[in-house]
Homo-oligomer: A and B are copies of this chain.
């Protein structure tokens, strides 16, 4: 991943980061880098995510899933970090395979999916770090029992990633299903390049060794300076912009197949940085389509938003002649032209724009992109004194659901029954 941050600098961008401020910030980057490096080397929780390229063994993953007949549909059951990474990889690297990431308990949707998927040919990867995620357990049971009811030997077509001592872990151990341990100390949103998502990637025929190689390349090239490290340049620029009032980050891939990466990034950024009353809201978007929907607001709304474009070379060649006034149009050229035009329109109006550049849409570059953005997120946390590895604000709702399911009467369950106050119909 390369990066262009010139259009986020003051005085071009308002607000923007002055070159002098960026140089001052680089001292802090150097200290933060030291903490990150120490964290990685000591295998500290969170930081060790940046080391997955070296600590994950792709051969074990490949050998474990090898006996599973994964030529047909691949179903992933999981929530949050157990779904978004798998979907990002499948969308980008296995667009011609049939796959389903079921991070939903919507009964209408699930009943329709059961109708649509040929379960007799399907395989399933069920993923829950804790082994106790209610939605994952429920949705997996929907799939498992549908297979069982159809006389399909689900035990031969399922692989799990979960903790042994957990409800899900006990279920899969009892059924003698292959089980991967989740990487300890790696939060879900940083775990895409681990046993959390690589088994389904392998079943989809994705080059998981390539992904890990890309991860290693970024890890090896982290330096103490943002001016030499694209990942840190991104994290530092975003941290500096956020402390200048830029509270929104529209993350816009210019390739439909990178749509899943934008949503994966959304969780990474929101859950890692949205705490203590600060943070920068990620907004997943789609290049070019969003010019016809959101560009108006990006360019003319409040000056609290940065646009991150993510560009990649399109190798496909397609040329058409839609009319005499347009002549012959090469879609790759037009695609790039439209991105540049949108970026320029923002820049001349003083809106900060950061461009991330991917050399190619392949496993190596995608692995590198994941780790670059994770390192950027950790650096942002360091610079703004936020712990980027926890997510305390989501516990209340989880516990409330558990309280109700357990039949308890608690302050949480009572809060659910509060009457509406101003209802208009």
Contact = CB atoms under 8 A, between A and B. Distances in A.
A301 B275 contact: yes
A300 B393 contact: yes
A179 to B, nearest CB: 16
A384 interface: no
Contacts of A296: 270-271, 274-275, 391-394
Contact of A84 (B103, B293, B341): B293
A233 interface: yes
Nearest to A278: B302
A165 interface: no
A150 to B, nearest CB: 15
A257 interface: yes
Given A138-B320, A416-B340, A105 B425 contact: no
Contacts of A326: 134, 137-138, 167, 405
Contacts of A355: 420
A392 B335 CA distance: 22
A60 interface: no
A105 to B, nearest CB: 5
Contact of A255 (B106, B141, B189): B106
Contact of A397 (B105, B325, B342): B342
A327 interface: yes
Given A108-B316, A141-B322, A314-B108, A400 B302 contact: no
Interface of A: 2-7, 9, 12, 19, 79-81, 83-84, 95-96, 103-112, 134-135, 137-138, 140-142, 145, 167, 171, 188-189, 226-230, 233, 247-248, 255-257, 263, 266-267, 270-271, 273-279, 281, 283, 286, 288-289, 291-305, 314-318, 320-323, 325-327, 329, 331-332, 334-335, 337-338, 340-342, 344-345, 347-349, 355, 361, 391-394, 396-398, 400-401, 404-406, 412, 415-416, 418, 420-425
